[in-house]
Structure 1
Amino acid sequence: MNLTQRIIYIWRLIAKVFVYAIYGICSSLYMILFPVIFTLSGFSKKRFRNIARTINFYFFQFFVFLMKLLGILTVNIKNKNRLKEIHSCVVVANHPSFLDVLILFSLIPKANCIVKGTLSKTPFVNAIVNLFFIPNTLPFETQLQDAKIGMDAGETLIIFPEGTRTIPKEPLHFKKGAARFALFADKNIQPIYIGGNEKIGIRKHDKFFSFHPTSRYHYNLEILDPITLEKFKAHPEPSAISLLTNEMQKILEACRENDSELKSDFSI
């Protein structure tokens, strides 16, 4: 790196740490705000979920805007017009970085997800988490029922079928949970491919104090064609789940293999 590149690199690294710190502070304040919202909603679970999800949507939009403003992030969306059609379905995406959740929540109103069960046992926030999200420590049948109720009410369930962040240069390995949720609720799958350059510093096992050496993080999202369930429901449930999981993985793996920016970044 020359001097200018070093200065830009240091700035982006400082900006990344700054955003993390602000996110942590705001998240803490956010959890304090939730009980107030629940009280003002008249202790109505339905009213609370609607208000809280709207606030959540703008909360994540703010952080995406902040990262763009600081010069550490770009977000480009192919087939952006399809975003308005995303509701009452299961969104599945590959998971290259820590910021994937934040970006998807900033694009999809009324988004729901499966969260770590430890949050449902944390004092003060446990009741809110149980109202707002689906803890993964619940019996799986309960998770299926809760997700279906939410999707029937217009919510979108976001799932990363890998279950963890993608390991660079390794093939995708999808678990079967997303297919089980979609088939149980009888809701279509909406695949979203998350591409762009290598997300160095926010990938699995990366050092916290690191950043892409030559560029800001480029997120090139593609809203793909929905996967309808008709041809899968013709099979027995175990086969339908496996076939649907394979279909999701094949579609997103093909996008990854054809991602020219990602392939050119592997040489870094």
Structure 2
Amino acid sequence: MADSSLSLRPGRTRPGCNYYWRLVMTAVSFTLFSVGGLLLSLTWFNLLLLVQRDKHRRRQMARRSIAWSFRCFLRFCRLVGVYDYRIEGTEQLQRDRGCLIVANHPSLIDYVMIASVLPEMDCLVKADLQRNFFLRGVIRAADYLINSEADTLLPDSQQRLARGETILIFPEGTRTRYGESLKLQRGAANIAVRAGCDLRVIHITCTQRMLDKQSRWYQIPPVKPLFTVRVASRIDSQSFCENHEDAQPLAARRLTRHLEQALVPENKL
């Protein structure tokens, strides 16, 4: 992996014009993302509250709007050279119904890339994001599940999965720390086992270090990175269950251990 630091070492050339162009455009893209989220909340989502009284229809329209804005954002970043990206297996992913989508979480834009091709996808988000001035309106309009609502999280998840919705969960709970192995929480496995649903595995990789847990937004790589989202296997959660009293807790532990291997991208095995 390339070192994103600006410090020069013996034999290392000074960053060129392309580097500084990408640095400026990275700042512009972050500003656009934040301001775009705020504008959607203040204008379009408030308009939806006035013109669309049906809650489920309003939520559907809000999520489609979010997916459209994400596609525009990703294309802008590609156009100005901040990064490139590709999503493999989109059609297969769009056919999935009533399942959890589980992915590794190497960067800040993982959710953006997946949501851009799934206009009606649900998502389990961190409670802290509800206090984010730019994003809280988006989360409210999309009616995403909140990970701190322990009493209602499981029944709400079961209800939405039963309706055929897909829910995106990053089982690590936060972005992967560079150079460390995956450490998963049991939330995704618990929901899958108790809801009796399948899990769709997604692998996310990047050719350079960018927007990871230990990097600031301005620590960009020396060359333009390529993000790849690859749709992988589908897992039957019920194959981990046994017929005895402690079946579900044991099944969740076994499924979590399995996911710790299944979520590792092939080029990192």
Q: Which TM class, normalised by the smaller chain length?
A: 0.7 to 0.9
- CA 122–39 in structure 1, closer or farther in 2 if over 3 Å, else same: farther
| Alignment gaps of 5+ in structure 1 | 259-268
* Aligned position for 1:264: none
Q: CA RMSD in A?
A: 2.4
Structure 1 residue 20, shift from structure 2 partner: 0.3
Q: Does 1:134 align with 2:145?
A: yes
Q: CA deviation at 1:121?
A: 6.9
After superposition, the Cα gap between the structure-2 partners of 1:256 and 1:249, relative to the gap in structure 1 and judged at 3 Å, is farther
Distance 1:126 1:9 in 2: 34
- The higher relative CO (CA closer than 8 Å, separation ≥ 6) is in 2
> More displaced, 51-60 or 110-119?
110-119
Q: Shift in Å at residue 102 of structure 1? A: 0.9
Secondary structure of 2:261's match?
helix
Match of 1:79 in 2: 89
Conserved? CA contact 1:165–1:203, under 8 Å: yes
Of 115, 122, 146, 2:125 maps to 115
1:131 and 1:169, CA in 2 relative to 1: closer, same or farther beyond 3 A? closer
- Measure the CA separation in 2 of the matches of 1:111 and 1:225: 19
Q: In structure 2, do the counterparts of structure 1 residues 163 and 146 end up closer, same or farther at CA, with 3 Å as the change threshold?
A: same
Conservation of the 8 A alpha-carbon contact between 1:76 and 1:221? yes
Count of matched residue positions in the alignment of Structure 1 and Structure 2: 253
Counterpart of 1:226, as a letter, is R
Residue of 219, 223, 228 corresponding to 2:227: 219
* Cα 1:130–1:76 shift into 2, 3 Å: closer
The 3 A distance-change label for structure 1 pair 82 and 131 is closer
1:91 Cα offset (Å): 0.6
Q: CA deviation at 1:46?
A: 1.0
Rounded to whole Å, the distance in 2 between the matches of 1:204 and 1:69 is 25
Find the aligned partners of 2:139 and 2:172 in 1 and give their Cα distance: 27
Question: How far, CA to CA, are the matches of 2:75 and 2:21 in structure 1?
Answer: 17
**Greater fraction of residues in helix:** 1
Q: 1:184 aligns with which of 179, 191, 194?
A: 194
Residues 1:251 and 1:119: Cα distance change in structure 2 (over 3 Å): closer
Change (3 A) 1:256 1:178: farther
Note the residue ranges of structure 2 that are not aligned, 5 or more in a row.
1-11
From the superposition, tell whether residues 205 and 67 of structure 1 become closer, same or farther in structure 2 (CA, over 3 Å).
same
Corresponding residue of 1:198: 208
| Deviation of the 1:191 alpha carbon | 0.5
What is the one-letter code of the residue matched to 2:214? Answer: H
TM-score by length of structure 2 reads 0.85
- Structure 1 CA distance for aligned equivalents of residues 187 and 85 of structure 2: 28
Q: Percent identity?
A: 26
Structure 2 SS opposite 1:225: strand
Distance 1:254 1:51, change over 3 A: closer
1:120–1:98 CA distance, 2 compared to 1 (3 A): closer
**2:164 maps to which of 154, 175, 190:** 154
Any idea what SS the aligned residue of 1:220 has?
Answer: strand
Q: Quote the Cα distance in structure 1 between the aligned partners of 2:142 and 2:122.
A: 11
Q: Secondary structure at the match of 1:224?
A: strand
8 Å Cα contact 1:53-1:109 kept in structure 2: yes
SS in 1 for 2:233: coil
Partner of 1:207: 216
Quote the residue 2:3 is aligned against. Answer: none
2:256 alignment partner in structure 1:
245
Amino acid of the structure 1 residue aligned with 2:218 = F
